[in-house]
Structure 1
């Protein structure tokens, strides 16, 4: 059975200007996800700004999150780092605190070869003892995992899942089928890129790794559940209602939009880590209008 399935919700990590985690705000975000009964929480992903946080603040975020979940919701923690030894330490920290798995990207200043990435992932999995999810995020790392490399890594003990990007819906079926052929049956295949993940779940993906799910989990869960029970028509109907948000994600970036949503929903008031700037006042008004026009309650 796959270690991850359903909706994996990725919240922001609220911090002050010095990069210190706002524990109260983070717990509030996590409490919303637990109340919605998401299938897992993706802590310290790209939306969680893991690369901007020190080891101490990463540990603080994990501790606060696990304290809020009470061990009832699986937590996947970003453990990526430029150096392999640092990634091992981050993964060891996550395991010691109680994380379910680690999310590991091929982060590097210099371009990496497939063999270098294979060694990096193998060492982190072996030396940390934490189950590892491959994070294929070429938009930020500029490294793309080929099917051959995924197949090799899927045979490494402790590497249990992959979080794939989606550039569009036309190739999801063939991409998923190719991955199914090369990984063990229990290996979890999931996708990110919220705009396209409804189609990924309809195609039979195990997991939707969702940015919006980290701030508005309920509509995302409804899409996932519809897809899981084979109701593609309903999943697509719900997804269409979110199209104005997907358009905002494309226009301003999902990271900036969810920071604005956190404030508009009165969850917390925090800014992205510098040098990333928050959206302009005009953009925030545009986001507020879209939010106001979204269905509420049974409207989904």
Structure 2
């Protein structure tokens, strides 16, 4: 049985809580949580007991606490990196020195792993996709009525969600390009961090909106995209990386050409009008891909493999 000490900069962060819960509920075979700490002193005290086999740093910020010459295997989860819009790539910066001390690094996508491995070639890299409770969002299992949105909804209009924290310039310009009949039928709802919507309302929006738009790579949380996909909501993004291989090529739009976004909104409006203003059916194929790639049972098996790999890498490191 591997004893895993979790290290985090934020115990309430979703990725950390997922790993913690997976260990506590024995979803990761042959592994148990030895505790959770948030500072270097906690790491030192835990290692001093001799009862720790693996240190798992569940976010990139906590990686700064990796002990030099750590006596046990070290794993770092990196699922958030700044995006350099001018260069069109991830910005790694000071993280490289911290990550170089890890035995294994977990990334959510191959593209992120590739970017990190080019800057920090020493550790092993593994893709670990997060677990999503698809049943919570799937309208066939947990449908939340549109009445949840009564305070800001108008069922005579086409409901479209904006998933970013604000309205990106490319989307502002796209809306200005729309024909008048589309603009008059459009009801835009923000799902960003300032929206003040309760969870039930967010799920209802994702289940009933004709589409959700993520028009700026740097201004949304990737979980929002996964939740939209789990609800079967047509989802459009500016780049393939945050799509996390769930979306299709036709769902990826330009980050700087508002005409693409205007054309897509016009197409959606045409289909909505053709259906008589009746809400769309959920995208069953999208939900199916989410179940296959991001179900709650998938990631723990991958994490078990990561812990095994970290142990082997640690043994090699200590023998050199």
Q: TM-score w.r.t. structure 1 length? A: 0.35
Structure holding more helix per residue: 1
Larger Rg: 2
Tell me which protein shows more strand as a share of its residues.
Answer: 2
